[in-house]
Amino acid sequence: MAHIVIIGAGIGGMPMAYEMREQARKDDKVTVISDTDTFHFVPSNPWVGVKWRTRADIAFPIANYLQKKNIDFIHSGAKRVHPDKNQVELMDGRNVDYDYLIIATGPKLAFDEVPGLGPEGHTHSICHVDHAEKSAQKWEDFCANPGPIVVGAVQMASCYGPAYEYAFIMDTDLKRRKIRDKVPMTFVTAEPYIGHLGLGGVGDSKGLLESAMRDRHIKWICNAKTTKVEAGKMFVTELNDDGSVKKEHELPFDYAMMLPAFKGVDAVFGIEGLTNPRGFILIDPYQRNPRFQNIYSVGVCVAIPPVEVTPVPTGAPKTGYMIESMVAATALNIRSALDGREPMEKATWNAICLADFGDTGAAFVALPQIPPRNVNWFKEGKWVHLAKVAFEKYFIRKMKQGTTEPLYEKYVLGALGIKKLK
């Protein structure tokens, strides 16, 4: 019997638990460790930020659902991973031994890297449902007394889609309230151009997103390094393509949401051979750590280098289907190890993304996500908004049922050439 431990119960951790249980042998034990006892659908956080959704709409307690699939659950944060002991030290003082460890923690939000950034400072966040709820409370106050908005992502951020979504969703909500004319909006991003997305662009993402910004009267500043935030004022240095300073900006705001950079969580940060300098987990092509070969990792906590050098540092995003491909490969590779075989499966890192604009939206398919690509397209339309609403319901239901890839999903995506494994 082997004990397979998964740290994290989010977009990566929950599918990982279900898929690992399916692939593990009958007598193997699968345990999930998480500092939260609920799952929440992170892609819906922009809707929570304007009260189009509540926490109850996108979150549910996980213990019973895991138990139904014969998966143990420990509700305690991981304090420190000890790879030399094959052990996870918990916040409550316990230690959990493992034969195989899968790290699916997601990131640590590095608000501290920009003075005044974040919910404890002067800007809002939609990275976590707690932050989105707090944003929603302030959103109502803002709408009662509207003024300028600044929205975007700071240097070293690696997930730009939600910043665009939130900008467009706020625009739509303000129009519905008939106060859009009272709200100047500025989009501030570390990207070298609108639609870069940390991916070097996808299809005509630059043209389509620039057009969407113009249509909605949202100004933008690219190659932007956010240096500090004070109450009602953001300080931004705009760079030229050669890295020289182009302009210094002092942007007034009455409401601001800026996505932070990500780092690895404290439980793994600084473990030599396990993480890179930012604390992300180092992996080989089989999702396995090169030094500690009984440790695997999936999701946002995986170390992926930027796709290209940019004047202001940008990171590469890890999107939902890309994470699911990591999950599938990891489960099969651990099963191979349990059977005494070398791992063979490699994740495709294919990406499908649905970005809601409030009443319309944009979708992209990048096969694979990291260029050069075999398929590369970006489209806009009202169908995307409807598709994202449907996907929210579908994914939450899938996590409650414990089904990682229903047959119809597998065959429909397969027919489109979108696969999880190489």
Alpha-carbon distance values, 35 to 31, 258, 286 (Å): 13, 25, 27
User: What's the pLDDT score for residue 282?
Assistant: 98
pTM of the model as a whole: 0.96
Among residues 127, 143, 159, 301, the one annotated as catalytic is 159
The pLDDT of residue 415 is 60
Strand order of the β-sheet with 95-97 is: 78-82, 87-90, 95-97
User: Which residue bears the tokens 């190489």?
Assistant: 422
| Per-residue confidence band for 411, with pLDDT thresholds at 50, 70 and 90 | low
Q: Are 158 and 316 in contact (CB under 8 A)?
A: yes
143 catalytically annotated: no
Q: Provide the pLDDT for residue 422.
A: 81
Q: What is the pLDDT of residues 218-250, one digit of tens each?
A: 999 999 999 999 999 999 999 999 999 999 999
Among 127, 143, 222, 353, the active-site one is 353
CB count within 10 Å of CB 130 equals: 15
> Rounded to whole angstroms, how far apart are CA atoms 204 and 211?
11
Average pLDDT, integer, range 153-164: 96
> Do residues 131 and 119 make contact, with C-beta atoms less than 8 angstroms apart?
yes
- 198-224 per-position pLDDT tens digit: 999 998 999 999 999 999 999 999 999
Closest CA to 105 of 304, 323, 270, 325: 323
DSSP letter at 301?
G
395-404 per-position pLDDT tens digit:
999 999 998 7
Q: Is 81 helix (H, G, I), strand (E, B) or coil?
A: strand
Q: Tell me, what's the pLDDT at 408?
A: 47
Note the pLDDT tens digit of each residue in 76-133: 999 999 999 999 999 999 999 999 999 999 999 999 999 999 999 999 999 999 999 9
127 is catalytic: no
Beta bridge partners of 237: 225, 248
- Of 169, 160, 227, 167, nearest in space to 195 by CA: 160
